[in-house]
Amino acid sequence: MSDDGLVMLAWSDYVGVTRCRGVLASQFNERLETGLGWAVAGQALTPFADIAPNPWGPMLEVRQVPDPTSRVTVDIWPDAPALDFVMCDSRTPDGELWDCCARGFLRKALDDLLAETGVELLAAFEHEFTVVPQTDVAPPFSLAAMREQAQLTHDIARALTAAGLIPETVEPEYGYSQYEVTVSPSQGVSAGDHAIATREIIRECARRLGLQATFSPKPFLDGPGNGAHVHFSFVAQDGSNATYDSAHETGASALARSFIAGVVRHMPAMCALVAPSPVSYYRLGPHHWSCGYASFGIQNREAAIRICPSTSRDPQAQSRGFNLELRPPDPTASPYLVLGALVRAGLEGVRAGLELPPACVTDPAELSDDERASMGIAPLPSTLAEAIDVFLADEKAVAWLPDTMRDSYLDVKRVELTLTDGETNEETAARYRKAY
Ligand code: GLU
Ligand code: MG
């Protein structure tokens, strides 16, 4: 860690962009208490050089207060300074969490989860991305694809490890020049921090090699999408997996069953938060394993939420490995908003004592409308505009966000719609490919 270098005080905003301000590393400790000021209006930025109409004038400021537990330092490049950043909570001048802070939205959801159920969230994202310039040489999932980006994939593993993250897999994906990285799960708000850190580290590794790692949900219209699936489980106070119950036929605990039911019920509304861009809807849809319906399944990769049982025969490992996966999210959503929305939707199911819906054992797109209706399987929205309408029609979902946060968030999303209105899909894909 270089004392005379810059450390970035960073935050993830409504559009999932990591914004920052830099301070000298030697002065970082002096920033721990009150952080740095930031003009609130910045929260209305789109991922482009545009800002949405917003309720904040030029005077209002929040403090971006660093959480030192989230600091990431990667100093592996001989030709570039260390990548050094720390995630912040946005606080009002009196120290309260600002009601439009994405990290704060997750914090509050996790507090409610703990207060109402006694458990904490353990989660990890699957990070899919596409390397640009893209080649069309190496076949999907091939060793050749891995060797095509041997330096990049090696650097990613090394950089993640240097940052204190634990890479689990670095692998080629289905698309040309598409790769996927997973890191070990983490508990609480750090699951969001680690997702952001992982993406920024991957971006930086690519940048150092003169490449771009794009996390756009559909960087090229003729290739597969980039998802940001979330694997999660609940940790009980005794450290056990509160998602698991060997006595139930699905392996899911009563808590997990109601939680899943809540997610299925609110999944269409959640899309405005977890698949929040015009390009998100080029990705979401049946037959691509990104899912097109709000369904539940066991192992089913066309389900919006699925149980991933452990393959181990050892009962303890079975319990440890049992987890759930949420598949609709994509990387244009802030990981904090994704995890916060997930917890909010699941808690609705827990509060209402909802029963687990029947597991869908096929691609739900293969079922008839009647069959889907009888199983409670609703289609997901097919455009961002529709997603916003569906969100606004779900009274529970609308109440998840404080009023100012909800209205200002939707205003940013509406500007994204306006900006892309009249563009061809190719133009919109190119726009988001560059931004993410
Ligand atoms: N790329 C797919 C998506 O857009 C997911 C593929 C997979 O199952 O890993 O979600
Ligand atoms: Mg994948």
Q: What is the 3-state secondary structure (H, E, C) of the chain?
A: CCCCCEEEEEEECCCCCEEEEEEEHHHHHHHCCCCEEEEHHHHHECCCCCECCCCCCCCCEEEEEECHHHCEEECCCCCCCCEEEEEEEEECCCCCECCCCHHHHHHHHHHHHHHHHCCEEEEEEEEEEEEECCCCCCCCCCHHHHHHCHHHHHHHHHHHHHCCCCEEEEEECCCCCEEEEEECCEECCHHHHHHHHHHHHHHHHHHHCCCEEECCCCCCCCCCCCCCCEEEEEECCCCCECCECCCCCCCECHHHHHHHHHHHHHHHHHHHHHCCCCCHHHHCECCCCCECEECEEECCCCCCEEEECCCCCCHHHHHHHCEEEECCCCCCCCHHHHHHHHHHHHHHHHHHCCCCCCCCCCCHHHCCHHHHHHCCCEECCCCHHHHHHHHHHCHHHHCCCCHHHHHHHHHHHHHHHHHHCCCCHHHHHHHHHHHC
- Token readout for 409 is 């968030």
Cα(66) to centroid of ligand 2, in Å?
Answer: 32
Cα(218) to centroid of ligand 2, in Å?
Answer: 14
* pLDDT digit string (tens) for the chain, length 436 residues: 445 799 999 999 999 999 999 999 999 999 999 999 999 999 999 999 999 999 998 878 999 999 999 999 999 999 999 999 999 999 998 999 999 999 999 999 999 999 999 999 999 999 999 999 999 999 999 999 999 999 999 999 999 999 999 999 999 999 999 999 999 999 999 999 999 999 999 999 999 999 999 999 999 999 999 999 999 999 999 999 999 999 999 999 999 999 999 999 999 999 999 999 999 999 999 998 989 999 999 999 999 999 999 989 999 999 999 999 999 999 999 999 999 999 999 999 999 999 999 999 999 999 999 999 999 999 999 999 999 999 999 999 999 999 999 999 999 999 999 999 999 999 999 999 999 9
Q: Which atom of ligand 1 is nearest to the CA of 175?
A: 1
Cα(14) to centroid of ligand 2, in Å?
Answer: 24
Cα(218) to centroid of ligand 1, in Å?
Answer: 11
Sequence-ordered list of residues with C-beta below 8 angstroms from that of 396, at least 6 positions apart, any chain: 266, 269, 348
Query: What local confidence, expressed as pLDDT, does residue 288 receive?
Result: 87
Q: Which atom of ligand 1 is nearest to the CA of 291?
A: 10
Query: What local confidence, expressed as pLDDT, does residue 3 receive?
Result: 54
Cα(328) to centroid of ligand 1, in Å?
Answer: 9
Which ligand is closest to the CA of 283, given by its number?
1
Q: Which atom of ligand 1 is nearest to the CA of 180?
A: 9
Q: Which atom of ligand 1 is nearest to the CA of 290?
A: 10
* Residue minimizing CA distance to atom 6 of ligand 1: 289
Cα(300) to centroid of ligand 1, in Å?
Answer: 12
Please, what are the domains in the chain?
105-435 (3.30.590.10)
Cα(177) to centroid of ligand 2, in Å?
Answer: 13
* Residue minimizing CA distance to atom 8 of ligand 1: 289
* Residue minimizing CA distance to atom 7 of ligand 1: 289
Query: What local confidence, expressed as pLDDT, does residue 203 receive?
Result: 98
- Token readout for 253 is 């605990």
Cα(173) to centroid of ligand 2, in Å?
Answer: 6
Cα(12) to centroid of ligand 2, in Å?
Answer: 23
Which ligand is closest to the CA of 325, given by its number?
1
Q: Which atom of ligand 1 is nearest to the CA of 327?
A: 10
Q: Which atom of ligand 1 is nearest to the CA of 224?
A: 1
Cα(169) to centroid of ligand 2, in Å?
Answer: 11
Query: What local confidence, expressed as pLDDT, does residue 215 receive?
Result: 98
Cβ < 6 A, ligand 1 pocket = 128, 224-225, 227, 283, 288-290, 301
The fraction of the chain above a pLDDT of 90, given in percent, is: 96
| Residue in 253, 305, 296 with CA at minimum distance from that of residue 274 | 305
Which ligand is closest to the CA of 288, given by its number?
1
Mutate to test the pocket of ligand 1, among 290, 325, 326, 327 (most ligand atoms within 8 A of CB): 290
Mutate to test the pocket of ligand 1, among 125, 126, 127, 128 (most ligand atoms within 8 A of CB): 128
Asked whether the whole model's pTM tops 0.95, one would answer yes
Cα(301) to centroid of ligand 1, in Å?
Answer: 8
Query: What local confidence, expressed as pLDDT, does residue 57 receive?
Result: 82
Query: What local confidence, expressed as pLDDT, does residue 100 receive?
Result: 97
Dihedral of CA atoms 72, 73, 74, 77 in degrees, nearest 10, equals 140
Which ligand is closest to the CA of 169, given by its number?
2
Which ligand is closest to the CA of 225, given by its number?
1
Which ligand is closest to the CA of 279, given by its number?
1
Summarize pLDDT for 318-370 with one digit per residue, the tens: 999 999 999 999 999 999 999 999 999 999 999 999 999 999 999 999 999 99
Q: Which atom of ligand 1 is nearest to the CA of 128?
A: 1
Query: What local confidence, expressed as pLDDT, does residue 290 receive?
Result: 87
Q: Which atom of ligand 1 is nearest to the CA of 283?
A: 4
